[in-house]
Amino acid sequence: MKILIIEDEPSLREIMTEYLRKQRYVVESADSLKDAMFKTADYEYDCILLDIMLPDGNGLELLRKLYRTGKSGNVIIISAKDTVDDKVEGLELGADDYLAKPFHLAELNARIRSVIRRKDHDGDSAVSFGNVRVDTSSYSVTVAGSPIELNRKEYDILAFFINRPNHLVDKMNLAEAVWGDHMDQVDNFDFLYAQMKNLRKKMNDAGADVEIKANYRLGYKLVAK
Ligand code: CA
């Protein structure tokens, strides 16, 4: 799960980044409206944390842009300016939630989880395909009811695919979702092939009736066997 933090105050941005990385998210950040506009145009995020007062403009401008493209549903507004007007406008523009500063990091995490659950699983924290079940609240995976042990990246890859069954995913999109935005600058994808190989083997050994099929030119797809 990848999160974009849009926040100009360095210390808050760092605290949030560090905390959310510990919660197993891939975290990217932007410190200005301009940077946030670029990032949201170029990359996909599971949740966007949006500060309102930015040095080069108002965060609601970004929200308006996302709203026009139907992409404002996973935004949590984070604002020190706890005014009713901003809150109402933000929610009308499709923002999913509004959190006033200062806030507890645990509260932030709870709100993020709720946004992601609504977006990906219609409110349920577990999602299944075939006999494979991924529970995003406990980061656990079962195959035919028996738990299997995955490392963190293997889990992240499987969680990404189980939300997109029968959907072809290009390896760049997969790499950006699991490793981060800088993946568009890597020379090769050996790290991805290695994790994918291990994950596929573990799923197969556990008796999964679904598999992540590779097509080296087009990408990967989670399909029934
Ligand atoms: Ca600010």
Alpha-carbon distance 134 to 138, whole Å?
Answer: 9
pLDDT exceeds cutoff 70 at 20: yes
Q: What is the mean pLDDT of residues 182-211?
A: 94
Domain span at residue 198 reads 126-224
Distance 80 CA to ligand 1 centre (A): 8
In terms of average pLDDT, the best of 27-41, 92-106, 161-175 is 27-41
User: Residue 110 belongs to a domain with what CATH number?
Assistant: 3.40.50.2300
Q: Each residue of 21-37: pLDDT tens digit? A: 999 999 999 999 999 99
Residue 113: strand, helix, or coil: helix
* pLDDT computed for residue 215 by the predictor: 84
Show which of 90, 120, 150 is a domain's final residue: 120
Are 144 and 172 part of one and the same domain? yes
Report CA(10)–ligand 1 centroid distance (Å): 10
Cα–Cα dist 167/106, whole Å: 33
Of the residues 120, 145, 178, which one is the last residue of a structural domain? 120
Boundary-marking domain end, from 96, 120, 144: 120
User: What pLDDT shows up at residue 135?
Assistant: 92
Give 38's Cβ-side CA count (13 Å radius): 8
Average pLDDT of the residues in 191-215: 95
For ligand 1, the distance from its centroid to the CA atom of residue 102, given in whole angstroms, is: 12
Asked if 210 contacts 129 with a C-beta cutoff of 8 angstroms, the reply is: yes
In what side-by-side order are the strands of the sheet with 26-30? 26-30, 2-6, 47-51, 75-79, 97-100
Instruction: For residue 20, report the distance from its CA to the centre of ligand 1, in Å.
Output: 19
Total structural domains in the chain?
Answer: 2
> For residue 109, how far is its CA from the centre of ligand 1 (angstroms)?
20
Residue that is written with structure tokens 């995003």 in the block: 136
pLDDT at 177 over 70: yes
How much distance in Å is there from the Cα of 30 to the middle of ligand 1? 11
Q: Is the pLDDT of residue 123 over 90?
A: no
Highest mean pLDDT among 83-92, 132-141, 144-153: 144-153
The answer on pLDDT for 55 being more than 90 is yes
pLDDT given at position 35 = 98
pLDDT at 73: 84
Which of 16-25, 118-127, 164-173 is predicted with the least confidence, judged by mean pLDDT? 118-127
Q: Tell me what the pLDDT averaged over the chain comes to.
A: 92
pLDDT score of 216 more than 80: no
Q: Ligand 1 centroid vs 106 CA: distance in angstroms?
A: 20
